[in-house]
Structures are given as structure tokens and as C-alpha cells.
Chains A and B, each alone.
Chain A
Amino acid sequence: MYKQTKYLAAGDRALVMEFGNSISEEINRKIRSMGIAIEKSKIEGITETVPTYRSLMVHYDPMIIGYDALIDRLRLLEEQLESIDLPSPCTYEIPTLYGGEFGPDIENVAKHNNLTVEQVIEIHTSRDYLIYMLGFTPGFCYLGGMDERIETPRLGTPRTKISAGSVGIAANQTGIYPIDSPGGWQLIGRTPLKLYDPYRENPILLKAGNYIRFKRIDREQYDSIKEEVEKGTYKYIIHNGEGGGR
């Protein structure tokens, strides 16, 4: 993390607060705090913020607040960050059916790492993953910290269509496809949850700075959760408090 946050112009209607030049949980925590602090501060003229790995983009209306005035306000807010009461991050539970037709590459992953399929599932579900940022497509999460024991390179030939909800591994990353798309990730399972639904009140389920936890389910549970999700009656399981550890 930089000793002093860098303020960089991104045109005449946005600026970037850059907190460091590496990917770390510490920097990401600061970004999350700053994002919430900005939301609470109600500084007039800020229109939206976009958190990424090591920076926060702040969009603003220069007809309401100018560049220099905005930087002054943000610096002041940064100084007060310690004293602002922030809600702790939460952990979303992602029920996942591993293997079988939904996880056709799980045996690749096991073989590549000299593990059994059971061990792959055990390792994949054994820790909480920080959502560093969303981007690429609506609802796609960049997750941190996968166990190196299940690292597996991408497929040699990408698939032309991967169904929404697919859970995969690409090198040292794990992730979930929010929409049907082509891709080269090793697919190990699928969640019946909809990470992205443009017609839902909250179109995107997950938010940067929080955590997700994969929970193994069987086919019967998968089908019943899927049905509830379709009907809009599914109760998403969100654990409050610190993620990480466990």
C-alpha cells in the first residue's frame, strides 16, 4: 500500500484513487472502506464509484463539484476513515453441485494435482474467497486466494458455450460464470443461484469487498434450489461478520 493515496485524473468526469500497486486483501479492505465512507458522506456531485483490485474510480458531475474541490473532500474523508463506523463484510453461501455433467473437468483437476475428486471438492469448499472486484461481464467476480493444491491450467481448447452458474478453475483462480459465455476454464461444478438477473430488484447478487463460500449440495438439493430461484422464493444465505479465516 502506498504511504499516500494517488489521485489520478480519468478525464473530466472521473478520477482514480489508487491505494497501491499490488493485489492484496489489505488494499482491498481500504477500497471497500473508502467506498462505504463515500456513500455515507453524501458528497454532492459524486455519481458512482467502481472498486477494482487496488483502486477506486469515482465518477462525478463537474457542474456540481470541480476536480480540485473533490480531491480536497476525498482527502479529508480518507483522514477520517478510522473513525467511521463500517459494517463488516459478509459471506454469501454458494450452493454448488460438484462433478458429473455440470463439472466435466473435475477429474482433470484431480489428476493434474494427484488428488481424488473428493479431495478437490474438500479443498475448494474449505475456505472463503474475497471478491476483489466485479467486471468483464455483468456480475463476474474476480476472487482471491484459491488453494494452490488445486491449481490447474486452462483448457487447451476453450468451450464455445458455458452455462451460467458454472464454477471453474483457471490457473490459480476460481470463479463463477454469471451468464452463458464461451470460456476456457476447467469446470468443476455448477450453482443453481442466479448471480445476475437484470429483471430482479437487485440485479447482481454479489458485491466487491465481501466473501463467498462454496457449499457442496447433491442433485436433489440442486433441483429444489433451482426451482425456488426460478419462482423467486429462494432465501439467499448470507453470513454476517468476517470472512476469510474459517
Chain B
Amino acid sequence: MGSVKVINPGLLTLVEDSGRYGYQQYGVPVSGVMDSFSHRVSNILVGNHELEAVLEVTMIGPQLEFMDQMAIAITGGDLSPAINGRAVLMWESIIVNKGDRLSFQGLKSGCRSYIAFSGGIKVPEVMGSKSTYTRGKIGGFEGRALKAGDILEIDTPTESPAGLGGRKTPLEFIPEYSGTLELRVTLGPQEDYFTADGINTFLSDYYEVTNECDRMGYRLKGKNIEHVKGGDIISDGIAMGAVQVPGHGQPIIMLADRQTTGGYTKIANVIWADLPKIAQAKPGDKIRFVKVTVPEAQQLIREMEDKISAIKKACVTREVVSTRLLRLKIDGKTYEVKVEELK
């Protein structure tokens, strides 16, 4: 087992896994990571179960000190990570030693970084999840964002850190984050509460991310989206990525910490495969919504899963070109060593 000391917590650093499922019928929000793609890849890079808890870091990164040797990986938005002041690469495994310090030198692209630790973060599960739900003060590290002086316990990994070195995400799978995003959506469940003009406005104009954007939702501003008769409905369920349009006509994208139910019309829902993009958007970014059908969206999930499988394969399987058996003599003892030449 290892541990990591928080020297400086950054703006908002949270322990999150894939979320707290099964309790939405009781009013408990799902929470969990905002960017599921970066989350899963970070875990794959350090040999964890891909849904293991990681640190989600928002805009201004923390400073962490490693109390033991371990493998880590940083994915997601680029906040300029550095070890002992020297820049390190993202999207690949890094072996850190006792006393090393990880810091972040500033936001370059995206909004949220993910840090995975080989072995996973050891915090108790609350209602089946390690995710922090800050408003409900449950999960993660004592139900709150990290503070200076906190010590995070890291579980014992199944593989030694040394064996995890050199795992890299193939370049073609590393996303690029731009200040202008295209988000694909499926219409509904309440698209018939909007006029044809309203739907047309929503699907053709750019919407800007306002300062009111957090894990609960992103408020956007742009041209008013016209309702047929107001923006209120009898409360119903809210899915991750729902685009809610209250009476004022401005859209709000509902995200990880969203309330489970709500009484505003939902014109559309961002597709699962594009949620990682909105998770990396920040105030001032521009969004255009593009309509797809549900079967198309589900095909895109399949493609995302294929990507994840390809990354896993690239990390885990090694292509052996040839094998040789060598005999070594050290201090009078004889060792037989199998050597694999990798592609």
C-alpha cells in the first residue's frame, strides 16, 4: 500500500469513479467523473480496473507528494503537469518515486485532468461508489474536495510499478480540445414543447458556455429557444447530458451532479460519446448542436468502446518478435533469462 500527500489542493480536486448508480429513484444524484473517456484510459494506463476511482482536477491543478513508489497516469485536459518541476507527458504511465512532487503549471487546453494511481484510491464506498457528491457530503475523501494536508491511501496494485512503465495511449486516440465544439444530440424527451423555429434556432446557432458551469450543469447563452407554451412540465427524470430549457429560453446541459428529477422542458440530450467533450469545455467556449438519431448515437457508443479496447490492447499486449534464452553468471550463481524482443 502507498500514499500520496496533498500539499496544495488546487481549485477543485475530487475523488470520483464511474458514479453512484441505483439510487436515482430515491433522489440521490449519480455524480462520478465528468469525462468518462479520460477516466477509463487513465486507469488502463496504470493497470487498474477501468472504472476505479481517480482524481478529477478542475482548471487549476493540485500539488501532490508521493510517499511511495507507484505508477500514475494523467489524461484529459492539459493543465501542464510536471514532476519535480519538469514537464511530463500525459496519456502514458509514469513511474514516480518516494518524495517526488507532481504539480500543474497552468491550463493549456480542456478543463479537467484525471490522475490515476496504480492500485486505485482507497476510500470507503458509500452506496456502492467512491464518487464524491459534494452537495450531499458523501463519498470520496470524507465527502468533500481535497484539502492541504490530506493523505490519500493507495491500494496495493496487482502489478509492480516497474512492470507498468511505458504504457502509452496510441496517438490517434488522444483527443484534442478546441474552444469551438460540435455536440451531437438526440432530440427529446420534450421536443414537442418547442416551436419549429425554436428547434431550428437550437440546431443552428452557437451557444456560449457561461461562468455558471460546474459538475451539476453548464448554463449556456445564445439566441432564445422558443417554446410553444412555456418551459414548465410536471417533473420527470433527468438523464446525463439532458439539455434543459426553462421559460427564459436559454439552455442548460445537465451533468454528473445533476438533480435526479426536474420540472423544465428538455429539448435534447447530448449523446454519450460526446459527453467527454462538454466535460472539457470552459467559460467562453462555443457550442453548436447537431442532431443524430438514437440508433446512430448508440453506434457511436460502440465505436467509443472499440477505441477503449484498442487502447487496452496497445497497453497490455506486447508484440514479441523473437525470444531467446540466455544464461547469465553473477557472483558464481547461474541464471537462465528469457529475453523477448518487442516490436
Contact = CB atoms under 8 A, between A and B. Distances in A.
Interface of A: 8-14, 16, 18, 21-23, 35, 47-55, 57, 59, 62-63, 66-68, 133-140, 142, 178-179, 198-199, 203-204, 207-208
Contacts of A18: 189, 236
Nearest to B266: A10
Nearest to B135: A137
Interface stretch (B22-30, B46-54, B63-71): B22-30
Given A52-B237, A67-B294, A133-B261, 18 more contacts: A9-B294, A11-B269, A18-B189, A21-B234, A47-B21, A47-B22, A48-B25, A59-B24, A62-B298, A67-B295, A134-B27, A135-B235, A138-B28, A138-B136, A140-B27, A199-B126, A203-B23, A204-B26
Nearest to B124: A199
Contacts of A63: 301-302, 305
A204 B236 contact: no
A57 B272 CA distance: 17
Interface in B72-115: none
A50 B22 contact: no
7 contacts: A13-B272, A13-B301, A53-B234, A57-B236, A62-B298, A67-B295, A135-B235
Given A11-B269, A13-B272, A54 B24 contact: no
B242 A11 contact: yes
Interface residues of B, number: 42
Contact of B28 (A52, A62, A68, A203): A203
Given A133-B235, A136-B261, A198-B126, A204 B189 contact: no
B128 to A, nearest CB: 10
B231 interface: no
B188 interface: yes
Given A9-B186, A134-B27, A62 B234 contact: no
Given A16-B236, A66-B298, A134 B138 contact: no
Nearest to B273: A12
Considering the complex of A and B, which 10 residue pairs feature the smallest CB-CB distances, nearest first?
A57-B237, A11-B269, A135-B261, A8-B189, A12-B297, A204-B26, A14-B239, A50-B237, A62-B298, A134-B27
Contacts of A62: 298, 301
Interface string B242-269: 1000000000000000011110001001
Interface in B292-342: 294-295, 297-298, 300-302, 305
B271 A11 contact: yes
Contact of B239 (A57, A136, A207): A57
A198 B236 contact: no
A45 to B, nearest CB: 11
Residue picked from B21, B189, B266, most chain A C-beta under 10 Å:
B189
B189 A9 contact: yes
B4 interface: no
A10 B242 contact: yes
Contacts of B186: 9, 11-12
Contact of B236 (A49, A52, A140, A207): A52
Contacts of A204: 23, 26-28
B209 interface: no
B295 A68 contact: yes
A131 to B, nearest CB: 11
A140 B235 CA distance: 14
B127 interface: yes
Contacts of A51: 25
A12 B24 contact: no
